[in-house]
Amino acid sequence: MTSKRPERKRSLAGLLEGSADLSQPGTSPFRRLALEALRPGSQQPRRTFDDRALQELADSIREHGVLQPLLVRPVNGGHEIVAGERRWRAAGLAGLSDVPVVVRTLTDQEARAAALIENLQREDLNIIDEVDGKLDLVALTLGLAREEARVRLTRLTKEPAGEEAARLADLFAPLGETWVTFAKNKLRILNWPPLLLDALRSGLPYTLAGVIAAAPEDQHGQLVELARSGMSRSALRAEVERLGLPQGIGSVSQATVVARLLSSRRFMARLQPEDKRAIERWLARMPEVLRSDSEETL
């Protein structure tokens, strides 16, 4: 009698089989479904879709068509997208009326795993979605709840051997990193404060967020603004080091932060017209010592 554990492993490894590249000969049979006949998947791990990247994909689809069919499953008399929601959205932008699909009958768990695998193999996935997705995939692979999987991963890094470690090695093989690297380097970001996680979701690079995470939490707001204004990683690290010194020694005042922001072309360029007018009104009320010195400089 076949055990349940090997069945889960096979399903995770082969969930995306059948969605072959249509530009290659000998692809699996597929059918076409109207865009309006499809709906976004309930198991979709991706929370955000970059508008620019989506438009670039739409331009490519307009020229070359959809080269890889979407993986869908029948649900309630219709079809739900399991893998390929970006292609579905971009196809709509490109003016297509239908898309190629592979239809497979999948459980909610299998659909979740397939969506995770498909998204995690793409380079543009937000770091938070990536970490959440890989942790969820680990939980599915090991048959554990999400938090239990998180604890188990941490423990396994201390003894990276055995059946579970081997299954994780197979799982992460096509994902661009080892499970040990993931557990030691990326899993920790789930412990970061909400402000820093929100900044990551809105586009703050992971490398800069890692520097900011080492600073006191009450300084994260101003450091995020400095990072968004274009400050380099090395300069940001220097700021963090100064913030860690005793008060009055190398500390960065609010006035210094404001001066750097106002002198940043990148910061000023991304301001909305009403924000610029508000800054001008605020500057009009500057103290006399600043007014006289600034007039002399001009």
- Write down the mean pLDDT value for the chain: 78
pLDDT in tens, 71-101: 999 988 789 998 888 899 999 999 999 999 9
Q: Is the pLDDT of residue 1 over 80?
A: no
pLDDT in tens, 177-223: 899 999 988 898 988 999 999 998 888 888 899 899 988 888 899 89
The first and second tokens of residue 52, run together, are: 């620019």
Q: How confident is the model at residue 292 (pLDDT cuts 50, 70, 90)?
A: low
Beta pairing, strands 70-75 & 98-103: parallel
Name the amino acid, one letter, at 247.
Q
Q: What is the location of CATH 3.90.1530.30 in the chain?
A: 17-107
Q: How far apart are the first and last CA of the chain?
A: 85
In the block, residue with structure tokens 């604890």? 151
pLDDT in tens, 238-291: 888 877 654 443 444 566 667 767 777 766 777 778 778 877 877 777 766 565
Distance of alpha carbon 107 from alpha carbon 105, whole angstroms: 7
Give the closest residue to 85 by CA, choosing from 15, 121, 35. Answer: 35
Q: Looking at per-residue confidence, does 155 or 22 come out higher?
A: 155
Environment class of 72 (CB within 10 Å of its CB; exposed 0-12, middle 13-18, buried 19+): buried
Report the CATH architecture of 17-107: Alpha-Beta Complex (3.90)
In the block, residue with structure tokens 């998180």? 150
pLDDT at 43: 63
Count Cα atoms within 13 angstroms, Cβ side, for 66: 30
- Going from the C-alpha of 21 to that of each of 18, 102, 269, the distances in angstroms are 9, 12, 42
pLDDT at 36: 92
The first and second tokens of residue 162, run together, are: 């055995």
pLDDT in tens, 124-176: 677 888 888 889 889 988 889 989 999 999 889 887 778 898 889 888 887 87
